[in-house]
Structure 1
Amino acid sequence: MTDCVRTGAAFLGLVVLLSGCGSHPDQPRESTASPSTAQASPAQSDHPADPSEAGKGDSPGSMIPRYDDATSPEAKTGRDIQEQADLLNHLSTSVNNTLKLPHDIQLVGKQCDTANAYWDPGDNSVVLCYEEATEGLEIYTKAGDADPRASTVNGEIATFYHELGHMVISLYDLPITGREEDVADQLSAYILLTPGPDGKVDPANVQAVKDSAREFQGYAEAAGELDDNDLAGGHSPNKVRAFNMECWVYGSNPAANGDLVGDGHLPQSRAELCEDEWDKLSHAWSQLLGPHLK
């Protein structure tokens, strides 16, 4: 079995399960720690991750989910979205079943008082801020989605895998070229779009990436005209990130995703490059992640 297929098979079950569950102005997602005064509370889950299963062989660590307190209206809404989808438990289970973790990693739902998500290497934690989910819900509601909560959960899944990109680069000292934020976006798309052992990608996974692209587009529209600070930032502008996500979806299966070309989506000139772009992205990430998969 190739590394690419192994990765797809390892992550596929979680993403399909979550897809059935129910950035803001540039730059939307930070990747370094930011302080928070939220107080920790035990994770509320009927099926908590089992750290005992991870302490074996060359993978002594596990990802441990935790929901911190929420006090503001925005944070309470975001926490409710995460908890109703059992989001943190499912995400941590996926990682524990897939990656060889050298030590424990906390996956924290948190009130940050701003819409954000980040990998904190000093604290060994991935943080999904409640306000990020709340802003996503506002975007999908404004867009007229039939089930904006389901779209929001899709956006949260893509956000998590973006932060997972930062995490694996840090944990495994992976070599990368180019801006790390762009590389982390690639990992998010790679995990969601890589076929499972049957050679197929679940349509719900594809929709998660499409929803993430629409969220970036919503943030871009809210931000308005960009200045030099926006263009010189660590993240690509949100509209660029939206086009990248659409390009990788299209490139992974042009025949099935022709709806992403034209009419406000990918220009034909970019679409023509996407299949080769996806092939290179997929090959690179399969090589990078292969040695670290269970």
Structure 2
Amino acid sequence: MRGAIVSGLAIALLVVGCAGQQETSTESAESPTAAAQAQGPEAATDDGDGTMVVTYQDASSPEAVNGRALLQDNTVLEDLAADINESLILPYDIALIGAECGEANAYWDPAEDSITICYEDADGALATFTADGVPDPTAAMLNSEIATFYHEVGHMAISIYDLPITGREEDVADQLAAYVLLQPGDDGRPDPEAVQAVKDFARTFQEGDSGELGAEDFADTHSFGETRAYNLQCWIYGADPDANADLVGDGGLPQDRADGCEDEYTQLDNAWSTLLEPHLK
């Protein structure tokens, strides 16, 4: 049962990672999924028959219009929702919303039972990866949005299943993203495409926190960007040290941290496997 959430993810990665940019459209293609979106989420139920339902809201700013096109033309939200619907028992319907937010962001809203991926997040990620000279900035952007989604799924799972966690929820949500994406395949090793998604997600935090730090920074529910990047790199390395030895040293993951990453990943994997087991299809 542990592999259920990953089987759908493998399909999603292939579809999203290889689609590339297409002509911008303003309406979803006609399909059963699109028809469900037009109707909106159905009334919540208590019998475990909930589904994740995708909606793309309108966009007006140039950044939002571009981000909407990137997500919609590559069927990002549809593929990710399909993975959740294949994998998790949802107690009621969950909305997965693409929206113009006025800022680069993504969030789980427990009051609305919804995950929102902001169009500006996709647009900003593409700009960042392009400026960094990444060979395929669109693929890197899509990877980071996939990992961002699973981070928000971490928040969602904690909320809807009332999961007991220890530690800051933002760190635990990062762990869920790594847990899903770094699950081993039939060969016992994580899928390289999924590993790259975690690497690209980590890269979005590597610039760190600029400016002078104050009380609000130290009290923030999120760890510092550099810390999140090192955590993700540690879990990548711990999941498959032989394939990811290049992450250690030379300005990357310090050896002292790397020495404990296999145990750290094993602990993470065991924790999330235990927490999710009752809720997997």
Higher relative contact order (CA 8 A, sep 6+): 1
What residue in structure 1 maps to residue 165 of structure 2?
Answer: 176
CA contact (8 A) 1:99 1:293 kept: yes
C-alpha distance in structure 2 between counterparts of 1:278 and 1:43, whole Å: 41
Residues 139-218 of structure 1: pairs in structure 2 closer than 5 A: 139-218=128-207
What residue in structure 1 maps to residue 258 of structure 2?
Answer: 271
Aligned residues: 269
CA contact (8 A) 1:43 1:66 kept: no
TM-score, structure 1 normalization: 0.85
Q: Which of these residues, 22, 28, 31, is aligned with residue 44 of structure 1?
A: 28
Unaligned runs of 5+ in 1: 23-41
- Write the deviation string for residues 252-290 of structure 1: whole angstroms up to 9, x where unpaired: 000000111112210111111111000000011011111
What residue in structure 2 maps to residue 237 of structure 1?
Answer: 224
CA contact (8 A) 1:9 1:197 kept: no
C-alpha distance in structure 1 between counterparts of 2:4 and 2:98, whole Å: 29
Q: Which of these residues, 227, 248, 258, is aligned with residue 261 of structure 1?
A: 248
Give the secondary-structure state (helix, strand or coil) at the position aligned to 1:102.
coil
TM-score, structure 2 normalization: 0.89
C-alpha distance in structure 2 between counterparts of 1:76 and 1:163, whole Å: 22
Give the secondary-structure state (helix, strand or coil) at the position aligned to 1:216.
coil
What residue in structure 2 maps to residue 30 of structure 1?
Answer: none
C-alpha distance in structure 2 between counterparts of 1:89 and 1:48, whole Å: 11
Residues 1-294 of structure 1: pairs in structure 2 closer than 5 A: 3-22=1-20, 44-49=28-33, 58-218=47-207, 220=208, 223-294=210-281
C-alpha distance in structure 2 between counterparts of 1:138 and 1:215, whole Å: 11
What residue in structure 2 maps to residue 28 of structure 1?
Answer: none
> Deviation of residue 84 (structure 1)?
1.9
Unaligned runs of 5+ in 2: 21-25, 37-41
> Deviation of residue 61 (structure 1)?
0.7
The 4+ residue runs of structure 1 with deviation greater than 6 A are 54-57
CA contact (8 A) 1:19 1:208 kept: no
C-alpha distance in structure 2 between counterparts of 1:133 and 1:261, whole Å: 29
What RMSD over aligned residues (CA atoms) do the two structures have, in Å?
2.2
% identical aligned pairs: 50
What residue in structure 1 maps to residue 23 of structure 2?
Answer: none
> Deviation of residue 10 (structure 1)?
4.8
> Deviation of residue 57 (structure 1)?
11
Counterpart residue identity of residue 288, structure 1: L
- Write the deviation string for residues 220-247 of structure 1: whole angstroms up to 9, x where unpaired: 26x3443331121000011110111101
C-alpha distance in structure 1 between counterparts of 2:215 and 2:79, whole Å: 39
Give the secondary-structure state (helix, strand or coil) at the position aligned to 1:20.
helix
> Deviation of residue 106 (structure 1)?
0.7
